[in-house]
Structures are given as C-alpha cells and as structure tokens.
Amino acid sequence: MRADGERRDDPPRAILVDWGTSRMRAWIWRGGHDLSPMHSDDRGMKALGQADYPAVLARATASLGAPAGTPALICGMAGARGGWLEAGYLAAPTDLGDLHRHARRVELPGRDVRILPGVSCGGTAPDVMRGEETQLAGLLDDPGPGLTCLPGTHSKWALRDGSVLTGFTTFMTGELYEVIGRHSILARTLGEDWDDAAFLEAAEEALEAPELVWRAFFGLRASALLEEGRPTSARARLSGLLIGAECAAARRLYGAGPVTLVASGAMAQAYGRALAVAGFAVTLRDGEEITCRGLIRAAEKIWRD
C-alpha cells in the first residue's frame, strides 16, 4: 500500500493491528498509505488472557523494528468481551467515518493504545460484528456497490448508504464447515481432494432449494458407503452446499444485485463462483488491503499532524 513518493525512512506514526480470534496481524504506519510488510502472530484472542496482550504487542513492535513506545491502533477481537479491553458496539445505523471517535484507550504506561469499537444490530434480528466494520470503513472511498459480502468463519453481509452502515447479517458458514468437517459423521468421508465442478453443482443445488441442504449433507455419507470408497467430490460438495445456502439467503434478504466481495485466494474463487450463479454482479476487493485502509482512515483522524 505504499504510495509513490513516500519515504520509507519516515519515523513510525503508529502500529496498526488487526487482532482476530485466531491470529494478529500488524504493520508499521508512517503516514499516508506507507505501510511496512506485515508481522503475523498466531496468538489471537482465543489463545490469550487479558494480561498477555501487552507482551504480544511489544513483540510485534520489536519484530517490525519500531520504537517501543510507538502508538497502536487495534481493530478486531482484542476489543471483545474477554479480549484485552471491551470496546463496546456502536448501534447501526452508524457512520463508519466516525469509528475513531469511539475508540477505547487502553491504560498502558509508555504507550498510547486505542481499540476500535464493533457494530451491533438490535430489534428482532440481533447481530454483532467486530473487525468487519473497519474493513467496511476501508471501502468508503471505493465507488463500488453498497452491499458487501465479507466471507469468513462468520460471514457478514453488510449494507451501506454512503458512509452509513445501515444494517448487516451474519451467517456461520465457515464455522459450520469446520464443525461438520472435523466433528460430524462426515469427518471420515470428506478426504482432502477438491473438484471445482462438484462445488459449483452443489452450490446450484443449494441455491435452487436451500431447505434441502440438510438432506444433501447426509447424502455425502451415504454415497461413501454405497460406493465403498471416499468420493473425491465430497469436500467440494459440502463447501458448495454451505456457500450456496448462504448466497440463497442473502439473495432473499438483499436481492441479486451488485455486491462487493472482500476476500482473496480460494475463498474469493469459491464465493465469486457461487455469487455469480446466484445472479450477483461481483466486484472483488482484497481483504488485507481493505483492512489496512480502514485502520489508516481512523489513525489519520486520531493522530493528526
């Protein structure tokens, strides 16, 4: 994200951190869009007690080569209940350009550390997000559509009107894939092989009749028994059924129009194919880049020149 003409020898203005459930990612920010290469650590929120965070942040700061007292701006699960410091939730609709105004400051001697809040939806369909709001803030200068799909363990579909996040919906697609693949009767059935055609066929099945995916799940087991082997398409079919059902639900809630997909790698390919079959017009954006943009937007407002 380094812009032309910016100097790498400028002193660090802050450490920007995306601290998730499973890992943390950190960058040095020197102003503008000048970021260092990423530092990654597998000690996410689920591996840490509250007292552990300062040491992990200090190690990241040292690894990045920044001075020990460099300020830090954090988004994600470090701000959750049970994280470093609960940063609370802003109620939707909320202006994503104002996230910085609600950052919680950690009491840490010798360092200015702020944690950005999450966003919540109340009413008859309560929902929460933490970390994705910063990605959505990173899209505010993007001319793409207001509907955004952010796949992950808990996939988010969010709707913006300009800079205002008006609402969102969470689907536990990634977690269901993990649970079924590791802890259900299908665990010994899936294997490691992948078949693109089988994925797409399963996604189409789920889009046509999402209420029947529960029957199709056990069909993976039955096929393995009747064929006396492990079908190479089982893992791809499971993924296709789950992602297809998610896309079907999102299409019912939001309509099949333009959507920004924030993803990369295999996730971008899988969701891109399923969304296209579902009738969405997809604009792809890289998740890491969008996260950094959102953190930079907030950091610029917190630590003005």
Q: pLDDT band at 8, cuts 50/70/90?
A: low
- Residue 112 located in a structural domain: yes
Specify the pLDDT at position 229: 54
State yes or no: pLDDT of 304 exceeds 90.
no
- In which domain, by residue range, is 108 found? 14-141+289-302
Region 3-12: mean pLDDT is 62
What is the rounded distance in angstroms from the CA atom of residue 163 to the CA atom of residue 195?
A: 40
- Residue 157 located in a structural domain: no
Q: Tell me the whole-structure pTM to 2 decimals.
A: 0.93
121 and 207 share a domain?
A: no
208 and 99 share a domain?
A: no
What is the rounded distance in angstroms from the CA atom of residue 226 to the CA atom of residue 303?
A: 64
Region 161-171: mean pLDDT is 97
Specify the pLDDT at position 198: 94
- Residue 220 located in a structural domain: yes
What is the rounded distance in angstroms from the CA atom of residue 285 to the CA atom of residue 268?
A: 9
Q: pLDDT band at 223, cuts 50/70/90?
A: confident
- Percent of the chain whose predicted confidence (pLDDT) is above 70: 95
254 and 293 share a domain?
A: no
Specify the pLDDT at position 190: 86
Q: Are 160 and 96 in contact (CB under 8 A)?
A: yes
What is the rounded distance in angstroms from the CA atom of residue 255 to the CA atom of residue 263?
A: 21
Specify the pLDDT at position 232: 60
Q: How many domains does the chain contain in total?
A: 2
To the nearest whole number, what is the mean pLDDT of the chain?
Answer: 93
State yes or no: pLDDT of 294 exceeds 90.
yes
CATH number at residue 68: 3.30.420.300
73 and 96 share a domain?
A: yes
Q: Are 118 and 102 in contact (CB under 8 A)?
A: no
For the stretch 85-135, pLDDT in tens is 999 999 999 999 999 999 999 999 999 999 999 999 998 999 999 999 999
